[in-house]
């Protein structure tokens, strides 16, 4: 057991939470757990595994994390599967099936030993899902962990994948809305954040204050923040409109911090559009951040008085979790996983329009006590529901349900 790491989590979540994890893990100590996904870096799945695997190891579990490789055509096909599962019609041909299955066959040869010796195999997303078809005689338990919103899939692709996924012993989805009927138990396990990472750890006061100078902000004015990619679903235009409306009544500055749009032509267009809208307003700051600006985002979230996530469509909305963890009330679009996190009038406000957003900004900036009270509730809500320790607990319960 790695007591140093456990002690760090314990200092945050308390000894009862860690003791419960230890007790659960002790019943699984002879079990071998194998996670398989398709990338070690970049993206939410890798980020979660980078925190989850060390924590499971620290609990004394035998955990292995394997990554399947693939060539460009394979990732093109799996990217098209990803889009299809989220509802977009794609080109789905016998050729794409062949590319997908052949790549899985090749990777199976490398992973066969680990797939056989593990007691629990957790396969993340569609990329390695076909591996199960290559082990018809298996004796262990296989779980498909779907991180994608399957609520309205493009049917031809889902019909094909469903025929694979149905062979698993269970599947995991992030939210009830994301599921599809399947002939095995389905578990709902929402995502989580890790309080020990650069994005979420406590920062020295100086480092938080330094963002004012760095981005030319006014330390005397309250700060309203939205952190999001430049994407229409995050409604950046609505955010600017709301700020312009609210600024007529109460002084503050808005920061819209986004980035990661370099390989996305639409992102660049939206960034330009947002910049043009903000141009005449010196209190609106539109930032373009590099993809590894975790500490900067952390500092901005901590410096903010109110955080917005005015999405019109959202998966889970990790930016909401991150801001709430930093004691910020969140004004969020009434959609997707934002609804699970923003408890209206308690941890923030749910909104539908720029007008509604402007009203809530004014309210929260005006009533400082209310803002602090909601921020505290927001932090507590994340502590109880959306930290990596809860995430690991859910995985352990799932595995225990197979052996008890
Ligand atoms: N993020 C980032 N840089 C940016 C914008 C977002 O690092 O310019 C991070 C953000 O802090 C969060 C994640 O990317 O951890 C976005 O997750 P979310 O679920 O909010 O939205 P998605 O972008 O996956 O739709």
The pTM (predicted TM-score) of the whole model is 0.94
How many angstroms does the Cα of residue 368 sit away from the middle of ligand 1?
A: 27
Task: Pick the residue whose CA is nearest to atom 6 on ligand 1.
Answer: 228
> Residue 185: which region, alpha, beta or left (left: phi > 0; alpha: psi -120 to 50)?
beta
- Rg for the chain (alpha carbons), in Å? 22
> Residue 399: which region, alpha, beta or left (left: phi > 0; alpha: psi -120 to 50)?
alpha
Task: Pick the residue whose CA is nearest to atom 11 on ligand 1.
Answer: 319
Q: Is the CB–ligand 1 distance for residue 178 below 6 Å? A: no
Predicted local distance difference test score (pLDDT) of residue 261: 45
Those residues with Cβ within 8 angstroms of residue 399's Cβ, 6 or more apart along the chain or in another chain: 28, 31, 33, 120, 141
Q: Where are the beta strands (DSSP E) in 185-265?
A: 186-188, 223-227, 253-259
Split the chain (404 residues) into runs of 10 and give each run's mean pLDDT.
Answer: 91 98 96 95 86 97 96 93 92 97 98 97 97 96 95 97 98 96 97 97 98 97 96 94 98 92 70 94 96 94 98 92 98 95 98 98 98 98 98 98 87
How many angstroms does the Cα of residue 291 sit away from the middle of ligand 1?
A: 9
For residue 257, give the ligand 1 atom closest to its CA: 8
Q: Which of 297, 307, 336 to mutate to test the pocket of ligand 1 (most atoms within 8 A of CB)?
A: 297
3-state helix, strand, coil in the chain (%, to 5): 50, 15, 35
How many angstroms does the Cα of residue 260 sit away from the middle of ligand 1?
A: 9
Q: Which of 290, 317, 319 to mutate to test the pocket of ligand 1 (most atoms within 8 A of CB)?
A: 319
Predicted local distance difference test score (pLDDT) of residue 206: 98
Whose CA is closest to 254, among 205, 307, 317? 307
CB atoms within 10 A of CB 11: 12
Give the burial string for 362-394 (b: 16+ CB within 10 Å, else e): bbbbeeeeebeebbebbbebbbeebbbbbbbbe
For residue 228, give the ligand 1 atom closest to its CA: 5
42, two tokens: 């970049």
For residue 294, give the ligand 1 atom closest to its CA: 7
Q: Is the CB–ligand 1 distance for residue 297 below 6 Å? A: yes
Q: Where are the beta strands (DSSP E) in 147-232?
A: 170-173, 186-188, 223-227
Q: Is the CB–ligand 1 distance for residue 9 below 6 Å? A: no
**ipTM exceeding cut-off 0.90 for this assembly:** yes
For residue 229, give the ligand 1 atom closest to its CA: 5
Please say whether the beta carbons of 179 and 173 come within 8 A: yes
CB atoms within 10 A of CB 239: 27
Whose CA is closest to 76, among 94, 98, 99, 93? 99
Predicted local distance difference test score (pLDDT) of residue 347: 98
For residue 258, give the ligand 1 atom closest to its CA: 8
How many angstroms does the Cα of residue 55 sit away from the middle of ligand 1?
A: 23
Q: Is the CB–ligand 1 distance for residue 226 below 6 Å? A: no
Q: Is the CB–ligand 1 distance for residue 190 below 6 Å? A: no
Euclidean distance between CA atoms 381 and 108, whole angstroms: 41
How many angstroms does the Cα of residue 42 sit away from the middle of ligand 1?
A: 11
Those residues with Cβ within 8 angstroms of residue 401's Cβ, 6 or more apart along the chain or in another chain: none
> Residue 222: which region, alpha, beta or left (left: phi > 0; alpha: psi -120 to 50)?
beta
Task: Pick the residue whose CA is nearest to atom 2 on ligand 1.
Answer: 291
DSSP secondary-structure letter at 292? T
pLDDT in tens, 115-126: 999 999 999 999
Q: What sign does the dihedral 325-329-333-335 (CA atoms) show?
A: positive
How many angstroms does the Cα of residue 256 sit away from the middle of ligand 1?
A: 12
């Amino acid at each position: 057991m790695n007591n140093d790491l456990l002690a760090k989590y314990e200092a945050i979540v308390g000894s009862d939470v860690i003791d419960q994890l230890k007790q659960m893990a002790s019943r699984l100590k002879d079990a071998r757990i194998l996670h398989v996904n398709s990338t070690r870096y970049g993206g939410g799945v890798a980020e979660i595994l980078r925190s989850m695997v060390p924590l499971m190891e620290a609990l004394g579990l035998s955990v292995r994390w394997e990554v399947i490789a693939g060539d460009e055509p394979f990732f093109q096909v799996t990217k098209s599967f990803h889009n299809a599962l989220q509802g977009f019609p794609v080109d789905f041909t016998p050729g794409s099936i062949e590319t997908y299955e052949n790549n899985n066959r090749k990777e199976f040869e490398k992973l066969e030993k680990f797939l056989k010796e593990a007691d629990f195999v957790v396969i993340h997303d569609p990329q390695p899902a076909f591996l199960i078809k290559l082990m018809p005689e298996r004796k262990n338990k296989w779980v498909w962990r779907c991180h994608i919103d399957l609520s309205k899939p493009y049917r031809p692709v889902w019909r094909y994948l469903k025929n694979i996924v149905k062979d698993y012993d269970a599947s995991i989805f992030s939210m009830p809305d994301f599921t599809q009927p399947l002939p095995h138990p389905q578990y709902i396990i929402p995502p989580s954040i890790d309080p020990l990472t650069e994005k979420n750890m406590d920062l020295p006061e100086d480092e938080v204050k330094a963002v004012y100078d760095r981005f030319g902000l006014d330390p005397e004015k309250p700060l309203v923040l939205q952190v999001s990619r430049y994407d229409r679903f995050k409604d950046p235009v609505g955010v600017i409109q709301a700020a312009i409306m609210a600024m007529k009544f109460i002084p503050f500055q808005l920061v819209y911090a986004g980035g990661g749009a370099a390989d996305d032509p639409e992102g660049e267009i939206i960034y330009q559009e947002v910049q043009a809208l903000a141009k005449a307003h010196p209190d609106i700051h539109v930032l373009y951040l590099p993809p590894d600006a975790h500490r900067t985002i952390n500092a901005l979230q901590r410096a903010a008085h109110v955080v917005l996530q005015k999405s019109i469509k959202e998966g889970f909305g990790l930016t909401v979790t991150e801001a709430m963890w930093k004691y910020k009330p969140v004004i969020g679009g009434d959609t997707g996983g934002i609804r699970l996190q923003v408890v209206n009038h308690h941890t923030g406000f749910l909104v539908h329009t720029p007008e509604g957003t402007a009203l809530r900004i004014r309210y929260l900036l005006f009533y400082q006590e209310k803002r602090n009270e909601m921020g505290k509730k927001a932090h507590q809500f994340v502590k109880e529901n959306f930290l990596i320790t809860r995430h690991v607990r859910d995985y352990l319960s799932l595995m225990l349900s197979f052996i008890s």
